[in-house]
Structure 1
Amino acid sequence: MPVSDPHPIASLVRPSRTRTLNKLSGLLEPHRLILLALFIAGVLAAIQLMEWSWLPGYLPKLWEGLQMTLIMLVSSVVVGFLFALPLGLAQVNGIWPLRWLATGFCTVIRGTPLLLQLWLFYFGLGALFGQFPEIRDSWAWDYLRQAWPYGFIALTVSFAAYQGEIMRGAFAGVPHGELEAAEAFGMSRRKVFCRVWFPRALHRALPTLTGEIILQLKSTPLVATITVMDLYAVITQVRQTTYLTYEPLLFLVAVYLCLSGILIVGLRWVENRVPY
């Protein structure tokens, strides 16, 4: 006869403890310890041998630039994802005019450089608005005369096009039998979408969405080309003022690495908690 486990709770804890020990042993492998030691030595050498006296005086401007970078990133990702959902749905389950429009939009935006789109919005659309006295005399001109709305539009449009194509694949990849089963239970189309189709598609798209958000973060420095004072623009001013090259750029690299790490950890946490 099988012998029952006298400590059932401990038997449940052991696999989790084993996985933790395996992860720790993996981190303590010789090649990883060598890489960690080289990284720490590089950081200490950069701190000791390079010029960092400029940093305290520029911290307020750097903080403002970081805020602008984060605002551009978060707003373009959120609004772009809201546009990506109908773009993906239209390509999968829309009538043919909407399907062709959505496909054409994603194809054109993904087929042209983001920098070109940014300049077209700023120098093209911005100059066009300035030719109409009705717009110049309205409340909107206080915003349209600035550069950041066009940077936001360009980043949002680009993210929506790429993520719309990803959501198209995610929606199309949900097994049709699951949708038919939900309809068999008497769910309306709205409930099928909210409770079955969208959660399943979102879970399939989350790993790719993480990569797209990281790419979006690395695309935000392009807004500096239209005079938006983000973190990269502030670093450029520091280089021009202090005549230093490596120190400001290394600081910028460190900030973007930290932001990327935070985004990866946060999105992995969300990914692990989205139900299948």
Structure 2
Amino acid sequence: MSWDWSIIWQYLPRLLDGALLTLELVAISGLIGIALAVPLALLRVSPNPWVRALPFAYIFFFRGTPLLVQIFLIYYGASQFEAVKQSVLWNLLSEPYWCAIIAFSMNTAAYSAELIRGAIQAIPRGEIEAAEALGMSKPLQVRRIVLPRAFGIVLPAYGNELILMLKGSSLASTITLLDLTGMARTIIARTYTPLEIFFAAGMIYLLISACFIGGFRLLERRLNRYQHYRHHIAHEMTEVDPRLQD
């Protein structure tokens, strides 16, 4: 078996075009998803069980069903309802691009909401009590204390979720979108070189994932830099008085 490296170089520009569409899908879906996830997470930590019920049902559905099924339900299912076809929503739901955006956004919102919920519940109770002692209102506590701390806690896990969404975005090719996987399949249909083209596509996915991992690590260090200062101060104090180590 011999590899035809010239095929990779010949079609690399087209693969990069597909990669740009993949990044676009992930970026837009990620922004919409996190915007939906924050209110869902806040509703999930409500003490009222009736308030928690609706976001729980939403999260349960989108986490419990395959992303491919969700894409098909939106892309093919919407056209089955005449009311939808007659509404202004049909301008979006008739386009595979927007159907993919909607499916990816709603899917990642469910997973991100659970991550943020866990992060909110992991915030030390003393910080919330301190905010209450200062007379902060609930909305102010959420804006100044809860969400900044939660994002700092959830960032490593959210980075993993974004990488999973990057890999899941390959399903966009099932509804005719020429993302990286879709473009690779189109090229293979013309050249009959699946090994070379899928290898090149895999390397591009790997490179994008590496960039995501590096970017999130830098962002995590910036958001959680106060922890480094706290550990540094604690270390200096134990050097002054070793009894403080315990």
TM-score by length of structure 2 reads 0.85
- Cα contact 2:74–2:93 (8 A) shared by 1: no
Q: What is the alpha-carbon distance in structure 1 between the residues aligned to residue 48 and residue 31 of structure 2? A: 26
Aligned to 1:66: 19
The structural deviation recorded for 1:156 is 0.8
SS at match of 2:73: helix
Alignment of 1:1-276 (within 5 A): 50-93=3-46, 95-128=48-81, 132=85, 134-135=86-87, 141-275=90-224, 276=226
Deviation of 1:154 (Å): 0.9
Tell me the percent identity: 35
User: RMSD value over aligned CA atoms?
Assistant: 2.0
Match of 1:12 in 2: none
Q: Which runs of 4+ in 1 moved over 4 A?
A: none
Change (3 A) 1:146 1:112: same
Alignment coverage as a number of residue pairs? 225
Distance 1:187 1:130, change over 3 A: closer
Distance 1:123 1:94 in 2: 38
Of 141-150 and 53-62, the range deviating more from structure 2: 53-62
The residue type equivalent to 2:130 in the other structure is A
Greater mean alpha carbon deviation, residues 71-80 or residues 141-150: 141-150
Residues 131/63 of structure 1: CA separation in 2 closer, same or farther (3 Å cut): same
CA–CA distance in structure 1, aligned partners of residues 29 and 79 of structure 2: 19
Give the structure with higher Rg (CA): 1
Q: Measured at CA, do residues 244 and 53 of structure 1 come closer, stay the same or move farther in structure 2, by a change above 3 Å? A: same
In structure 2, what is the Cα distance between the partners aligned to 1:130 and 1:228? Answer: 26
Code of the residue aligned with 1:249 in structure 2: it is: F
Higher RCO (C-alpha under 8 Å, 6+ residues apart): 2
CA–CA distance in structure 1, aligned partners of residues 220 and 173 of structure 2: 32
Structure 1 residue 178, shift from structure 2 partner: 0.8
Q: How far did residue 113 of structure 1 move?
A: 0.8
Deviation at 1:160, TM superposition (A): 0.5
The alpha-carbon distance between structure 1 residues 216 and 195, as it changes in their structure 2 partners (threshold 3 A), is same
Displacement after TM superposition at 1:78 (Å)? 1.0
Alpha-carbon offset, residue 128 of structure 1: 2.8
Q: Structure 1 residues 126 and 228, CA, compared in 2 at 3 Å: closer, same or farther?
A: farther
Q: How big is the shift at 1:129?
A: 5.7
TM-score (ref. length: structure 1):
0.76
